[in-house]
Amino acid sequence: MRATGVSLGQLLLALDATLVQLVQAPRGLDLAVASAALIDSDDVRLGLAPAAGSADLFFLLGIPENDALNWVDHQTARRAPAAIFIKEPSPAVVARAAAAGTAVVAVDPRARWERLYRLVNHVFDHHGDRALHDSGTDLFGLAQSIADRTHGMVSIEDAQSHVLAYSASNDEADELRRLSILGRAGPSEHLAWIAQWGIFDALRAKPEVVRVAERPELGLRPRLAIGIFQPAADERRAPAFAGTIWVQQGSRPLAEDADDVLRGAAVLAARIMARLAATPSTHALRVQELLGLRDDDDPVDIGFVARELGIPVDGRAALIGFDGGSASARLADVLSLSASAFRHDAQVASVRTRVYVLFPSTGKPAAVTSWIRGTVAALRTELGLEVHAVIAAPVTGLAGAAAARAEVDRVLDSAERHPGAIGQVTSLAEARTTVLLDEIVTAIAADDRLIDPRVRALRADEPVLAETLRAYLDSFGDIAAAAQWLHVHPNTVRYRVRRLEQLLGTPLTDPDVRLLLSLSLRATA
């Protein structure tokens, strides 16, 4: 990920002590940081880490101490990064990094890397909005302003209860708040209690302040909450629930006008969320342009976009499209993390339910396919997400990315219409026959003039014969195979075929007739 730069101190301030703690900063906190890369144990073991040599920050995921020490040595020999983020850094790693002038930031062991990745992205993408913490333009700034006015600790969540921003925490933060910020689900007994008392239902019903009582036995402190609602485009429709603002009380009582503060904050939060959704970051816009996802008709300057993204124009690229249905919001975050860990130059864009991952320069397609299958399996087993994935590889240079994305969409569209017809993970080549046939049949179904009226009449008046005709044609005229398909005697099929030829007024041996009837049957299924 790249941006124009924010200081390391500003970044740490936005991330909050609940998530990270500064261990060492030998060059101070004024260093500008604009890019980050993820390094895992495979990167170090296979020697892939140097591909991310130009990054300012590195997230070290599950790397043993000896490997981390070796990585620090090799990396600082090229260019000492501004900081490394690591869970439970050992004294040896801290000392080695500090000696090279690299700051060390300890990440809470319970934190989800995807949450940290998302928040760092947010800071990089929006730090130029008048001020990093301006309550009129930034959700973090709004959260801190609410906290200052109400004397509580604030978190702002989306409609799926994912934390988008939060105010500074102190040692009075309860377990539910800490785990929410870390990207973990709250304790089940807490969530069950909140749900049991209808608090979630009340928040989604209307933008009124809801009070959550203290539960000392659960370690749950008092809270105020209010739903965030987006006005509907059609005035006749009710506003749509977009998220929640939570205010946890500490030892100090909340302000007397806290309810009024929250009502105003909910309106402002809705405006900021709408603006952020409507105006993606410059980086996101460039990736969208590269993939042909923008409505602008102006030609894309591939060379300019490549320089902006810091990726090569010519190379053996690969594009993967994922469709996660209603889970697409979380899918984009998880795939960004996974793709960046696999290839540090990965580019990710999302539109509605789909997420696209572009690897500008890859090796053999088999390695990408292996990553896709592993990622899809992990999404299913660890997060309960079922997705379709389509790979286009190799793509010759960035100039072919938009065309590849359009082809990937064709496969995903077909999979959406016929979920069982296309495998969960497939390629353009593997799906070509299924997709072309589906598109032909879909086009025919949309135009009554292209459907043989005899087939419509047959389906309406003689459904058994229509089923027999489909079985006979799909069996290439093999009576025995059609009989087995229909679970009837072959003589029954012969009798029905004779009746079909009489009703249709044409022999079923003519290949043109067979093609026309077969397409009409599929279009009316």
193: pLDDT confidence band, cut at 50, 70 and 90? Answer: confident
Nearest to 311 by CA among 367, 349, 361: 361
Q: Which helix (H) or strand (E) element contains residue 265?
A: helix 258-278
| Residue 261 and residue 318 in contact, taking contact as beta carbons nearer than 8 Å | no
The more confidently predicted of residues 115 and 515 is 515
Q: What is the pLDDT of residues 327-382, one digit of tens each?
A: 555 677 778 878 877 887 889 988 888 999 999 988 677 888 888 988 888 888 87
132: pLDDT confidence band, cut at 50, 70 and 90? Answer: very low
pLDDT for residue 91: 94
pLDDT for residue 133: 46
Domain 282-433 class?
alpha beta
Q: What is the pLDDT of residues 391-400, one digit of tens each?
A: 998 888 899 9
Domain topology for 6-126: 3.40.1390
Nearest to 290 by CA among 397, 163, 200: 397
Separation CA 183–CA 190 (nearest Å): 16
Work out the number of other CB atoms within 10 angstroms of the CB of residue 252: 10
pLDDT for residue 431: 87
Separation CA 515–CA 227 (nearest Å): 57
Q: What is the pLDDT of residues 477-506, one digit of tens each?
A: 899 999 999 999 999 999 999 999 999 988
pLDDT for residue 299: 84
Positions of E strands within 41-173: 57-61, 83-87, 103-107, 153-158, 163-166
| Residue 114 and residue 337 in contact, taking contact as beta carbons nearer than 8 Å | yes
| Residue 126 and residue 237 in contact, taking contact as beta carbons nearer than 8 Å | no
The more confidently predicted of residues 318 and 366 is 318
| Residue 56 and residue 79 in contact, taking contact as beta carbons nearer than 8 Å | no
Nearest to 214 by CA among 250, 164, 188: 250
pLDDT for residue 311: 85
306: pLDDT confidence band, cut at 50, 70 and 90? Answer: confident
Separation CA 320–CA 426 (nearest Å): 10
Measured in residues, the chain has a length of 525
| Residue 214 and residue 248 in contact, taking contact as beta carbons nearer than 8 Å | no
26: left (phi over 0), alpha (psi -120 to 50) or beta: alpha
| Residue 270 and residue 242 in contact, taking contact as beta carbons nearer than 8 Å | yes
95: pLDDT confidence band, cut at 50, 70 and 90? Answer: very high
**Residue type (1 letter), 189:** E
18-45 core/surface letters (b: 16 or more CB in 10 A; e: else): bbbeebbbeeebebebbbbbbbbeebbe
Which 8-state DSSP code applies to residue 131?
S
CATH of 447-524, one of 2.40.110.10, 3.40.50.720, 1.10.10.2840, 3.40.50.2300: 1.10.10.2840
Measure the CA dihedral 88/93/98/103, to 10°.
Answer: -40
The more confidently predicted of residues 325 and 214 is 214
Domain 139-278 class?
alpha beta
Angle of the 91-99 helix axis to the 65-78 helix axis, nearest 10? 10
pLDDT at 233 over 70: no
Nearest to 421 by CA among 388, 447, 397: 388
Supply the DSSP string of 286-321, one letter for each residue.
HHHHHTT-S---SPP-HHHHHHHHT--SSSEEEEEE
pLDDT for residue 498: 93
pLDDT at 1 over 60: no
pLDDT for residue 50: 45
pLDDT for residue 2: 43
pLDDT at 129 over 60: no
Separation CA 7–CA 499 (nearest Å): 81
188: pLDDT confidence band, cut at 50, 70 and 90? Answer: low
Q: What is the pLDDT of residues 64-84, one digit of tens each?
A: 898 889 888 888 777 788 999
Supply the DSSP string of 479-497, one letter for each residue.
HHHHHHHHTS-HHHHHHHH
Q: What is the pLDDT of residues 243-278, one digit of tens each?
A: 999 999 988 999 999 999 999 999 999 988 888 777
Q: What is the pLDDT of residues 161-182, one digit of tens each?
A: 778 888 888 778 888 888 888 8
211 burial via Cβ count (<10 Å: 0-12, 13-18, 19+): exposed
Cα 50 to its chain centre, rounded Å, is 27
Spans of all domains in the chain: 6-126, 139-278, 282-433, 447-524
Q: What is the pLDDT of residues 5-50, one digit of tens each?
A: 688 988 888 887 888 999 999 999 998 888 888 887 766 665 554 4
349: β partners: 356
Q: Which helix (H) or strand (E) element contains residue 129?
A: none
96 burial via Cβ count (<10 Å: 0-12, 13-18, 19+): buried
pLDDT for residue 75: 82
Q: What is the pLDDT of residues 428-485, one digit of tens each?
A: 888 888 889 988 998 999 898 999 999 999 999 999 999 999 999 999 989 999 999 9
Separation CA 95–CA 104 (nearest Å): 9
